Amino acid sequence: MTTSTEKTAAATGAGPSVHAAARPPVRTAVSKRRRKIMNTLIAYSFIAPNFIGFAVFTLGPILFAFVLAFMRWDGSNPMEFAGLDNFWRLFSDRVFQAAFWNTIIFTGFVVPLTLICSLGLAILLNQKIFGRNFFRTVAFFPYVASLVAVAVVWNMIFNPEFGPVNMILYTLGVDPSNLPGWAADRHWAMVTVILFSVWKNMGYFMVIYLAGLQGISAELYEAADIDGATPLQKFWRITLPQLAPTTFFVSVMLTIQSFKVFDQIFMITQGGPGTSTLVLVYHIYNQAFISWDLGYSSMVALVLFLLVLAITIIQFRWSQRNEGDTA
Amino acid sequence: MTSASLASSSEALKRPPRRINWGLILTYAVVIIVTLTMLAPFVWMLSASLKLDRDVFAFPIEWIPSEPRWQNYIDIWTKIPLGIFVFNTTKLTVIVTVLQLLTSSFAAYAFAKLQFPYRNALFLAYIATIAMPWQVYMVPQFILMREFGLNNTHMALICLQAFTAFGVFLMRQFYMSIPDELCEAARIDGMSEYGIWWRIMLPLSMPALSTLTIFTFVNTWNDFLGPLIYLTKTDLKTIQIGIRMFITQYTQEYGLIMAASVVSLIPVLIVFLALQRFFVEGIASTGLKG
């Protein structure tokens, strides 16, 4: 439609303004449209390198995941439509149910414990003390440290027979028969993984809390000082309420992160003993890469997706409501 | 009321600093105990890496080995192909980080400063997947890579890590804060969009680029599940799964395992200390906007 006029416009190229003076209405309309097309092409050329990779390796697989959840496939033979078979299987699969509840239990402990520890750290390291940056760095380092390395140390330190933690407990007078079996004990394995996760991640959330603390107006504390408030009162009446948005945000992030837990469990307990620390992602991994039951594994992945989606919706609603309040 | 507060503040001025010191000493004590606890596993790791296997679990803990066994740090390079693992990880990390920085800042510029059809729809595609856990689609992604013949190649890991929604989102948020007038002025001066991106936007976005660099570097260096799924050949493995393989092969060689772990931590430690400021600022800003 526009090709021939476009070409003339392209040929005249550099000096459209001269022609514009001679035949204003047609020229400006054509060059405007041409410029618009050029601009669009330029814009798409900016997006293309990232978007093509993103579409092929992220969007595509995501859509495929939803299809696969309703299929029966071992990855080599032809795929079969399975209807809701995979869905019904969730209700008879004891291992899935264990994985589901273990994920909930893990999240239920990790979220509050990490919140308390990271807030405590943040308050402690927000004070004007000597070497504050050094202490902050130390508190943050476990978060960036590679998981395999620290998980290995963790396993050694918490070794039930000769690890230093049990040695210390023993010297403190704990009876050898009562010493916790940590990762090797069905009742303690989850505790071990939870402790590890809190230790590894609290530095990250401390940084977020530090930013939150620095956002609280100093005037509030000055006013409280004038009224003679105790430090504890200031904490409950100013710090905590002022940090509510941060706490909400941290809880959401922590919850989603806990739902996705895998690495540390793979390294520390391998989901065991039995199924005592088996979590959803572990089940997805086992079903896909050990049993090659790709359809069912995607159904379990769908459950994980729905859990995360629920949290995301709650977060979205909450932030919408709060923006409405301030507006 | 004013006179009372004045009186109390002048009282505070005259008050000897002894009482304040007690609070401060308590704070320091708590801070030092907490940081020592957080640091203890690392110190223990370092100390164990210089010991004979049978001395690793000696109790009471000998924090500084009386006869440091440096041999461990030589043995790890010969017993396992640690050099190859380090090389593979470095290669992957550098390629992924460079690709991530270039493509996401490139795309983010268009999303932030250019007008074009379907802009919001395309950006929504990115936003919608930010919250999508990778674990949900890792299986179909694996099948796709296998179809492409990328199983057991580094290309697979590069493809899956280099084009993240997070990178585009982070850079776009930063570019939004740069005034449009700056781009307009450059356009009037005849600069092309690519020129604006390269000469104006990139230099201005150093803080955001640094944040993205360190996030990508740490994530790629420490990635575990990705290499675990994709790389089964020993000479392709990254340091994370390489060390894991070492652990399963030499379960009893504690000193060596610890030495390998220390080696794997060093690059992250260096990058972290060098770019820490950006990391912390990045978490604080992206975290709260999230």
Q: Tell me the per-residue pLDDT of B25-83, one tens digit each, with 9 for 90 and over.
A: 888 888 888 888 888 889 888 888 888 777 777 777 777 777 778 888 888 888 888 88
Alpha carbon of B174: minimum distance to chain A alpha carbons (Å):
17
What confidence score (pLDDT) does residue B166 get? 86
Please report, for residues A201, B136, B282, the alpha-carbon distance to residue B103 in angstroms, rounded to integers and kept in the order given: 29, 24, 19
Q: pTM, whole model, 2 decimals?
A: 0.82
Give the residue on B whose Cα is nearest the Cα of A195: B38
- Note whether B41 contacts A150, CB cutoff 8 Å: yes
Q: What is the arithmetic mean of pLDDT over B204-214?
A: 85
Structure token digits, residue B165:
């929604």
Confidence tier at B5 by pLDDT (50, 70, 90): very low
* CB crowding B42-74: b at 16 or more within 10 Å, else e: bebbbbbbbbebebbbeeebeeebeeebeebbe
Bridge partner residues of A95 (DSSP) = none
Q: How far apart are CA B238 and CA B244, in angstroms?
A: 10
pLDDT in tens, B236-267: 899 888 888 888 887 778 888 888 888 888 88
DSSP H helices, B148-253, are 154-162, 165-176, 180-188, 193-195, 202-204, 206-222, 225-230, 239-249
pLDDT in tens, B135-175: 888 888 998 898 888 888 999 899 888 888 888 988 888 88
Do the Cβ atoms of B44 and A164 come closer than 8 Å? yes
Q: What is the arithmetic mean of pLDDT over B117-127?
A: 87
Q: If contacts are CB pairs under 8 Å, which of residues 24-63 in chain B contact chain A?
A: 24, 27-28, 30-31, 34-35, 38-39, 41-42, 44-45, 48, 56-57, 59-61
What confidence score (pLDDT) does residue B130 get? 79
Please report, for residues A235, A290, B6, B7, the alpha-carbon distance to residue B3 in angstroms, rounded to integers and kept in the order given: 27, 77, 5, 6
Angle at A136 between CA A133 and CA A141, to 5 degrees: 125
What confidence score (pLDDT) does residue A77 get? 82
C-alpha Rg value of chain B to the nearest Å: 26
Structure token digits, residue B263:
């080696």
What confidence score (pLDDT) does residue A27 get? 60
What ipTM does this complex have?
0.79
Q: What is the arithmetic mean of pLDDT over B97-102?
A: 92
Which residues in chain B are closer than 8 Å to A138, comparing Cβ atoms? 35, 38-39
What confidence score (pLDDT) does residue A291 get? 87
Which residues in chain A are closer than 8 Å to B288, comparing Cβ atoms? 208, 211-212, 245-246, 249
Structure token digits, residue A91:
């209700």
Distance, C-alpha B98 to centroid of its chain: 14
Q: How far apart are CA A288 and CA A280, in angstroms?
A: 12
Q: How far apart are CA A232 and CA A213, in angstroms?
A: 16
Please give the share of chain B, as a percent, with pLDDT higher than 70.
91
Domains of chain B: 2-48 (no CATH), 75-289 (1.10.3720.10)
Q: How far apart are CA A64 and CA A299, in angstroms?
A: 12
Indicate whether B17 pLDDT > 60. no
Alpha carbon of A4: minimum distance to chain B alpha carbons (Å):
23
Nearest residue to A40 (alpha-carbon basis) of B250, B107, B110 = B110
Q: What is the arithmetic mean of pLDDT over B1-21?
A: 50
- For residue A273, whether the previous peptide bond is cis, meaning omega lies within 30 degrees of 0, is yes
What confidence score (pLDDT) does residue B107 get? 92
Please report, for residues A141, A209, B270, B284, the alpha-carbon distance to residue A206 in angstroms, rounded to integers and kept in the order given: 12, 5, 21, 10
User: DSSP secondary-structure letter at A57?
Assistant: I
Give the residue on A whose Cα is nearest the Cα of B222: A146
**What is the rounded average pLDDT for all residues in chain B?**
82
Q: What is the arithmetic mean of pLDDT over B230-235?
A: 88
Give the lowest-confidence range in B38-47, B83-92, B271-280. Answer: B271-280
Please list the pLDDT of chain A residue by residue as tens digits (327 residues). Answer: 334 444 444 444 444 444 444 445 556 677 888 888 888 888 898 988 889 989 888 889 999 889 988 988 887 888 888 888 889 988 998 999 999 999 999 999 999 999 999 999 999 888 888 888 888 888 888 888 888 888 888 888 888 888 888 888 888 888 877 788 888 888 889 999 999 999 999 988 998 898 888 888 888 888 988 888 888 888 898 899 989 888 888 888 899 889 999 988 998 888 878 888 999 999 999 988 888 888 899 999 999 999 988 888 888 788 777 765 543
pLDDT in tens, B262-271: 888 888 888 8
DSSP H helices, chain A, are 3-12, 16-22, 24-54, 60-68, 85-92, 94-124, 132-144, 147-157, 164-171, 189-214, 218-226, 231-234, 240-242, 244-259, 263-268, 280-285, 294-326
Q: How far apart are CA B34 and CA B21, in angstroms?
A: 20
Indicate whether B8 pLDDT > 60. no
Query: How many Cβ atoms sit within 10 Å of the Cβ of residue B166?
Result: 17
Rounded to 5 degrees, what are φ and ψ at A72? -115, 120
Give the residue on A whose Cα is nearest the Cα of B5: A226
Confidence tier at B102 by pLDDT (50, 70, 90): very high
Give the strand pairing for A71-72 and A80-81: antiparallel
Domains of chain A: 3-68 (no CATH), 91-326 (1.10.3720.10)
